[in-house]
Amino acid sequence: MRVHIATDHAGLELSAHLQEHLASKGYEVVDHGPKEYDAEDDYPGFCIDAAQAVAADQEAGIDALGIVLGGSGNGEQIAANKVRGIRAALAWNLDTARLARQHNNANVVAVGGRQHSLAEATDIIDAFLAEPFSDAERHVRRIGQIAEYEASGAIAAR
């Protein structure tokens, strides 16, 4: 699996750790930056680049997911979710990471580097990447409704 990763300055240390950790587990890791610490950096471009790469890979049939990191992960999740076809979920524990994949088929996970220890954040990422989508009809239907709104601006009948 290919994993696209992006961060801001607050998640830079976690990003470096995760890149090494995931590569050692056999993932193909693509770093979308930043490459060095800058307390004034602007995360949206990095996160949008990673999300666009996930969307492009998935459209091309490549098994890919994404990780966006920041201090809280909130802004990074918002930025990634602006990319068509991306379902980015903020995960703050193992259950939210697994449920994001099981129920929402999330293809990007956001984690706050200042909210967790290195070990906790690594476990959250590992859980997200390992969890498959359930393919349950109700989840497929709901994701389809979100995709329809994203494409047309129309809300499905309730």
Q: Which member of 13, 17, 21, 103 is catalytic? A: 103
Q: Which member of 4, 9, 32, 76 is catalytic? A: 76
Tokens representing residue 14 in the block: 């976690």
Rounded-to-integer distance, Cα 90 and Cα 106, Å: 10
Task: Specify whether 17 is catalytic.
Answer: no
Q: What crossing angle do the helices spanning 118-130 and 12-24 adopt, rounded to 10°? A: 50
The amino acid present at 91, given as its one-letter code, is A
Eight-class DSSP state of 36: S
Task: Specify whether 9 is catalytic.
Answer: no
Rounded-to-integer distance, Cα 12 and Cα 68, Å: 11
Q: Which residues form the catalytic set?
A: 76, 103
